[in-house]
Amino acid sequence: MNKVAKFGGSSLADAVQFRKVAAIVKGDPDRRVIIVSACGKSVVEREKVTDLLYRLYACIQGDRGYEEIWESIVNRYVTIRDELGMVCDIESELVGIYNRLEKDVSVEWLVSRGEYLCSLLMAEYLGYSFIDATKVLFFHEDGILDREKSKYALGKILEDHCGIVIPGFYGAFPNGEIHTLGRGGSDVSGSMIADLMEAELYENWSDVSGIFMVDPRIIPEAVKCSHISYQKVRELSHLGANILHEDTIFPLLSRNISLVIRNTNAPQDPGTLVTAQEIDPCEICGITGKKGYSLLRVYKEELSIENDWLLTIANTLRELPVSIEYIRNSIDHYTIVFKEVECIDTLLSSLPDNYEHIHSLAILGIVGNTLEPRRIERALASLHDSEIEVYYSSQDPHTSTCIFLVNDRQLEDAIRILYYAFLG
């Protein structure tokens, strides 16, 4: 079977994790194409290499010393190499990077070095060939993948190599400069590669055994989904569930490539299978949430009979150049839910007097398949009984997703209450 296996940062945090990855890769001869993240966190390592690199960049720009950060980065890679008894000359790679640490260094290039170095080590450890992502993922100037050029390049590489390791998170612009795919972007690299090589399966290995109905840090005994659809994964990710980068699904759609989420620390677990269709859809797929939102309610008498009510709302939005999540209008007011920004007071001062602004809210979402209205009523009643105020709610019968706005500090409690209301 044609497979792509992507390993996230926690699977590459140290030499112990590298050994687990190697055992997984060697356990299946179909695992020939490996995508890796940068070294992530572990019990000992408190910071992801990518975070260190972003901090390093900020220090360079702010004319602050960065020797300590640099030392931490060097130590991570040299220790892994030494503990695994490898010979690769990672020092000269590191010196090459260090010599480019000037003010005009490109941030995208610098932060992508975490994946680059990690792949060099993993390639040697597996006995696979290292293929830089700039030789495989080619992007147009607007950041869209040049699919044809990339597919051709990958095809040629696969003809010549038995096993390859490609750094995730970046590729190349037409001028050869690095283009990064956003935080968590290695997930997207994996699905792009899976699409380009027409894989049947994309394995995404991390430190969780699949998708749970609720974050197990909130409810340790939360039920796991054995099978979920692409669409539901997108919705859950968008609503704050820490599963996959939101864009991971797109490259898989046209060929219906199955994705499986598996745990490097528990490779015997079958994980969660993600496909175009859901088999045996359960009533709810997940309950999740994200913090840091504001609600703005602007009052305008008889708004609903104004012909240009949409224009009225559009004018407010122009004053509020913020990331909008939801908009709703009713007879004489309209409501906008948006991501909080620091300059909100200045923005609000440009609005008419008759508005209400509620800040420090969280979006709480129930992503369902067959959510019946009476179940939503029961959920609302449980929140009410636990004195959790709901500032906004909406249900989309088409997607069966239901949204509530609650106080930031009550989000985890609200998730617990809803979980037991549905599954208790």
Residues of this chain that interact with ligand ASP (CB under 6 A) are 9, 37-38, 48, 50, 114, 168-169, 183-187
For ligand ASP, give the closer residue by CB, 190 or 365: 190
Provide, rounded to whole angstroms, the least separation between the CB of residue 201 and ligand ASP.
19
For ligand ASP, give the closer residue by CB, 130 or 334: 130
For ligand ASP, give the closer residue by CB, 184 or 286: 184
For ligand ASP, give the closer residue by CB, 120 or 313: 120
240 Rama sector, left if φ>0, alpha if ψ -120 to 50, beta otherwise? left
- Chain residue whose CB lies nearest ligand ASP: 186
H-type alpha helices, 161-222: 186-196
Q: Which residue type is seen at 404?
A: F
First to last CA, the chain: 41
Provide, rounded to whole angstroms, the least separation between the CB of residue 131 and ligand ASP.
17
Provide, rounded to whole angstroms, the least separation between the CB of residue 40 and ligand ASP.
7
Question: Quick check: 57 and 29 in contact, CB under 8 A?
Answer: no
For ligand ASP, give the closer residue by CB, 51 or 235: 51
Provide, rounded to whole angstroms, the least separation between the CB of residue 115 and ligand ASP.
6
Provide, rounded to whole angstroms, the least separation between the CB of residue 9 and ligand ASP.
5
Question: Quick check: 233 and 225 in contact, CB under 8 A?
Answer: no
For ligand ASP, give the closer residue by CB, 37 or 229: 37
CA separation for the pair 374, 126 (Å, rounded) = 54
Provide, rounded to whole angstroms, the least separation between the CB of residue 242 and ligand ASP.
12
Provide, rounded to whole angstroms, the least separation between the CB of residue 48 and ligand ASP.
5
Using the structure block, give the residue that is written with the tokens 């060929």: 255
For ligand ASP, give the closer residue by CB, 204 or 316: 204
Q: Which residue type is seen at 342?
A: E
Question: Quick check: 383 and 390 in contact, CB under 8 A?
Answer: yes
Provide, rounded to whole angstroms, the least separation between the CB of residue 118 and ligand ASP.
9
For ligand ASP, give the closer residue by CB, 185 or 271: 185
For ligand ASP, give the closer residue by CB, 227 or 234: 234
CA separation for the pair 110, 187 (Å, rounded) = 19
Provide, rounded to whole angstroms, the least separation between the CB of residue 93 and ligand ASP.
17
CA angle 95/132/266 to nearest 5° reads 100
Residues in the chain: 424
In the sheet with 284-299, reading across from the earlier edge strand, the strands are 324-330, 333-339, 284-299, 355-368, 401-407, 392-396
CA separation for the pair 212, 117 (Å, rounded) = 32
Question: Quick check: 222 and 212 in contact, CB under 8 A?
Answer: yes
- DSSP character at residue 13: S
H-type alpha helices, 127-278: 147-160, 186-196, 230-238, 250-253
